[in-house]
Amino acid sequence: MVKLDEIARIMGVSKAAVSLALNYKPGVGKEKAAQIRDVAATLGYVLPRTRSQGQQDEKVISCVSIVRRTDTPNTYDSSFVSGFIDGISQGLSQSGYRLEITVYRDVSIEQVITSLQKKASAGFLVLATELEEQEIAKLSSFTAPMVLLDAYTAHIPLDSVSMNNAGAMYKVIQFLTSLGHWKIGYIHADHGNGNFSARRMSFFRAVKAFGCSYEHTEDHFLVEPTIKGSYHQMMSYLTAGRRVPKALVCGNDVIAIGSIMALQEFGYAVPEDVSVIGFDNLPGSEICAPPLTSMCISPRHMGYRAALRLLQRLSGDNSSFEKILIDGHVIQRDSVRPAE
């Protein structure tokens, strides 16, 4: 297990500050505490139990993060992880439950389930961004209350709180058309989580609903969802003679930043020649050149709602399963301008 000393060394703080942050106690600034918890989660730190081993720990809620691809940016971006956990902490703050965070890296869903069944937790909040549908289905066999976070499954009998990707994409296209952009392209990840797929399908529906001009063979670009990968693959498209629409929607901010770098190097001015909009409003989006317009969906609010839903289950609520979708809003910066 990772020790507090190691986390303290990485963060440049005292061991006591790490302990306070991990146990959600006062004494450390909110932003610094969130950063400490994120580093701890990334390293796989598990909060220690405070009760004796033989006593059932009925007042613990486990927050479970399952990581598959460490090269897929923003799935586990620090701001998202911190936002989810801070929202969960806020939701549980008056409940009397203690939050325990566990990270599983590159292990099968069967191994995860076996590990979770050994825990004496009252309920589980599962950050399931990277899980496939068949893996999520296996989690439905759990007898303890469980709520999925950042994963939408319409038919699997589990409560879930996730991004409203369809509604968010509709707002993105509405925003672009309000600025006079009717020829819109899409830059999609060549691999990744369910959010990527949901956003792409939602883009197709949204441009059709608004009557935008879109040709899949010309206006669709497939890139690796890293800054370096999206830069190189977009450069390949440009050097091969692919024409770029006046507006581009990207599957996330990382793709947008890498693509903007390629466009600018090739000679396009952003936003004078091409308007670019991203998704997730990651911290780097406001400091790139130009600052990136992005769709913002709050991970903190998602975590908060997931915690409240789990508390309802723990209080005896046996109502139908709920699929909660959290909407977002466009944050306009300098990467988008009205069409001429």
What are the domain boundaries of the chain?
A: 4-163+298-327, 165-297
Q: Would you state the pLDDT for residue 340?
A: 84
Domain 165-297 in the same topology as domain 4-163+298-327:
yes
Q: Give the pLDDT of the chain (340 residues) as one tens digit per residue.
A: 567 887 887 778 888 888 888 877 888 888 788 778 777 776 666 655 333 333 344 589 999 988 876 554 443 456 677 789 889 999 998 898 988 888 888 889 999 999 998 888 999 999 998 888 899 999 998 889 999 999 988 899 999 999 999 999 999 999 999 999 999 999 999 877 788 999 999 999 999 999 999 998 899 999 999 999 999 999 999 999 999 999 999 999 999 999 999 999 999 999 999 999 999 998 889 889 999 999 999 999 999 999 999 999 999 999 999 999 999 999 999 999 999 8
| Residue among 174, 180, 137 at smallest CA distance from 155 | 137
Predicted pLDDT of residue 56: 41
CATH 3.30.420.40 fits 4-163+298-327, yes or no: no
Q: 165-297, superfamily in CATH?
A: Response regulator (3.40.50.2300)
Q: Are strands 329-331 and 293-296 parallel, antiparallel or unpaired?
A: antiparallel
pLDDT at 59: 85
339, amino acid identity: A
**Sheet of strand 159-163, all strands in order from the earlier edge strand to the far edge:** 98-105, 60-67, 123-127, 146-149, 159-163, 323-326
CB atoms within 10 A of CB 30: 11
Angle between helices 227-239 and 253-266 in degrees, nearest 10 = 40
Inter-axis angle of helices 30-43 and 4-11, to 10 degrees?
Answer: 130
Determine the residue type at 128: A
User: Which amino acid, one-letter code, is at 213?
Assistant: S
Residues 6+ apart with CB under 8 A from 151: 126, 128, 129, 131, 136, 160, 162, 194
Residue 65 Cα distances to 157, 204, 272, angstroms: 20, 31, 41
pLDDT confidence of residue 130: 84
Quick one: tokens of 78?
């620090």
